Amino acid sequence: MKRPGAFKKVLAPFCTDMKKLASEEGVTLDLDGEPFVLRAILTNLTADTLAAHDLLGFLSVGANYFCRRCMVSRAEVRANANAVGIPRTPELHAAHLEQVQQRKKFSSECGVKRSCPLDDIPYFHCVENNVFDAFHDLLEGVVPLVIKLVLRHYITKRKFFNVKFFNGLVVSFDYGLPDSKNKPSPNFDLDMLTSPRGKLKQTGSQMWFLMRALPFILGDLVEEGDPHMNLIFLLQDIMQIIFSFEIQNGDADRLDTLIYNHNALFFTLFIETQELHEEEDEQGLDEQEVDGADNEQGVVTQDVDEEDNQKEVHEQEVEGEDSEQGVDEEELVEEEGLLKEETEQEQTVGKSARNKNKKNNKKKKNSKKKKKKV
Q: Tell me which of 299 and 23 has the higher pLDDT.
A: 23
- Position 5 confidence tier, pLDDT thresholds 50, 70, 90: confident
| The length of the chain, given as a count of residues | 374
111-146 pLDDT, tens per residue?
999 999 999 999 999 999 999 999 999 999 999 999
Residues in CB range of 91: below 8 A, 6 or more apart: none
Mean pLDDT of 219-230: 96
How do beta strands 34-38 and 130-132 pair?
unpaired
Residue type at position 115: S
Q: Which phi and psi (to 5°) does residue 353 adopt?
A: -65, -40
How do beta strands 34-38 and 27-31 pair?
antiparallel
What is the C-alpha to C-alpha distance for residues 341 and 344, in angstroms, rounded to an integer? Answer: 5
What is the C-alpha to C-alpha distance for residues 263 and 25, in angstroms, rounded to an integer? Answer: 49
Question: For the CA atoms of 19, 25, 31, 32, what is the dihedral angle to 10 degrees?
Answer: -160
What is the C-alpha to C-alpha distance for residues 126 and 94, in angstroms, rounded to an integer? Answer: 11
pTM of the model: 0.71
pLDDT the model gives residue 94: 98
Quote the radius of gyration of the chain (alpha carbons, Å). 42
Of 155, 181, 180, which Cα lies nearest the Cα of 167? 155
What is the C-alpha to C-alpha distance for residues 220 and 42, in angstroms, rounded to an integer? Answer: 51
Give the 3-state secondary structure of residue 273.
coil
Looking at the predicted structure, is the pLDDT value of residue 316 above 80?
A: no
* 168, 186, 208 from 165: Cα distances, Å: 5, 10, 22
How do beta strands 45-47 and 130-132 pair?
parallel
Say which range, 1-5, 126-130, 166-170, 175-179, has the weakest mean pLDDT.
1-5
Residue type at position 170: V
| Start-end of H helices in the chain | 6-22, 49-56, 74-79, 90-102, 107-110, 134, 143-152, 163-172, 190-194, 204-218, 227-242, 251-266, 277-283, 292-373
pLDDT the model gives residue 332: 46
Cβ atoms 73, 64 nearer than 8 A: yes
pLDDT the model gives residue 348: 52
Q: Which phi and psi (to 5°) does residue 63 adopt?
A: -75, 165
Q: How far is CA 59 from its chain centroid? A: 7
Looking at the predicted structure, is the pLDDT value of residue 221 above 50?
A: yes
- Position 373 confidence tier, pLDDT thresholds 50, 70, 90: very low
